[in-house]
Amino acid sequence: MPRDITLRCPCCQAELVIDLEAARIVQHRAARPAGEKPSLENLAERAKEKPRLQDELFGSALIGERSRGDSLEDAFRRARREASQRGDFELETKDGEPSSTDEPVKESEE
């Protein structure tokens, strides 16, 4: 014999899950409101609007990724500078000499 049964309330159309052993309602799911169904025109407008919204979301995500990269680069530069000041390592220029700046060493094009 099942322990729980599911019933629909005749007044509010909510779904009730009843534990038969405890003789109590253990779960209540409110009925979904019937509401108005969207018209074909509204659906067409939403379909036209969707690409623009997707472009906006993509653009904001792209800006976020770019700024994230910039902030990671800044954090890396700060960490290199602090490590250099502690003496963990020395920053070098492209000719191998120690440098006091945290500018990255650029490869020479050959």
pLDDT digits (tens, 9 = 90+) for 13-35: 899 999 988 888 899 998 877 77
Please give the model's pTM, rounded to 2 decimal places. 0.35
Is residue 35 domain-resident?
no
- Structural domain range at position 71: 50-86
Is residue 13 domain-resident?
yes
Is residue 43 domain-resident?
no
Is residue 76 domain-resident?
yes
* DSSP character string of 60-96: HHHHHHHHHHHHHHHHHHHHHHHHHHHTS---B-TTS
Is residue 15 domain-resident?
yes
* Distance of alpha carbon 49 from alpha carbon 8, whole angstroms: 38
Is residue 45 domain-resident?
no
pLDDT score of 110? 46
Q: Which residues does residue 18 pair with via DSSP β-bridges, in sequence order?
A: 5, 25
- In Å, how far from its chain's centre is CA 48? 25
Contact present, 16 and 28 (Cβ < 8 Å): yes
Is residue 74 domain-resident?
yes
**Tally of domains in the chain:** 2
